[in-house]
Amino acid sequence: MSIFNYIVKDTDINNRIDRLLTDLNPNHSRSKIQQWITKGLVTVNGQKIKANYRCEKDDEINWSIPEPNEFKIEPENIPLEIVYEDNDLLVVNKPKGMVVHPSADHQSSTLVNALLYYSKELSTIGGKERPGIVHRIDKDTGGLLIVAKNDHIHIALTKQLQARKIERIYEAIVQGVIEHEKGLIDAPIGRDPKNRLRMAVVDDGKPSITHFHVLKRFKEYSHVICQLETGRTHQIRVHMDYIGHPLVGDPKYTGNGWLNTDGQVLFAKKLGFNHPSKNEWMEFEVDLPNYFKDLLLKIDTE
């Protein structure tokens, strides 16, 4: 069991203890933290408290995180859209709403569960929880991903990612009308100091570069293409919000707003890379999903 300590700061005063601990423990859900509190694993100034306790200045919070229970990742017969496959790798079109790999809080129905059923050959670089996974996209972002079948290919593709040689192009619908045709956002991204569940543009963040250009303007929205030069967590979502044009429906950064989109309107549409074994450039592109097309039609008639 791991033990942690935190002294309440001015910015934390009157914050609920369960909310503050959720910010301080971004890998754990609020419901999980409420369970810790119920079990007496959280104390304030040496006393057990309830989840709705309001923090006061200089409160000393101590909490213990139980060791995670080991869980077995089972193959599941979940349909996959395989865009390309050979002896070394797969290119998969992940649907919106599917988590890429299992975690203690989400152990089934992930892309990894589906991959384990589909193929006996997956790289082991990512460990037992991420077999074959070279790069990820968010649960509510659909689109193209590369899956490695062996470690040699995985390492080679990872080096391409690090060297910014893999082409990743997304389409998105953002709030507001972007006046200029194209732009480059060069702003470092790191953990949001005010909310540990979010990422933000921060001075000490990692270098992050996004290119974008406008495909079409609507009355209150813009349809854009975004190309990643780097690949930080939530990069497009953070960068577009940073320039005042957050993604439509993004629950973490802007709220769902008026359009019921069930998550951010973002799709990984095009993927290009040099195949490590064939030593040739390969490009893949898929059609926009129906929900995305329907939303474009909807905002075009408003």
The mean of the pLDDT values for the chain is 91
Q: Look at residue 284 and tell me whether its pLDDT is greater than 70.
A: yes
DSSP-derived letter for residue 243 is T
Q: How far is CA 152 from CA 124, 155, 156, in A?
A: 10, 5, 6
Q: Look at residue 19 and tell me whether its pLDDT is greater than 90.
A: no
Q: What is the pLDDT of residue 262?
A: 80
> Which structure tokens are listed for 244?
């005042």
Q: Look at residue 256 and tell me whether its pLDDT is greater than 80.
A: no
Q: What domains are there in the chain, each with its CATH number?
A: 2-65 (3.10.290.10), 68-163 (3.30.2350.10), 164-302 (3.30.2350.10)
108-156 pLDDT, tens per residue?
Answer: 899 999 999 999 999 998 888 889 999 999 999 999 999 999 999 999 9
pLDDT-derived band at 276, boundaries 50, 70, 90 = very high
- The single residue of 138, 192, 241, 250 carrying the catalytic annotation is 138
Respond yes or no: is residue 138 known to be catalytic.
yes
- Name the residue among 88, 201, 185, 83 with its Cα closest to residue 142: 83
Q: What is the pLDDT of residue 197?
A: 74
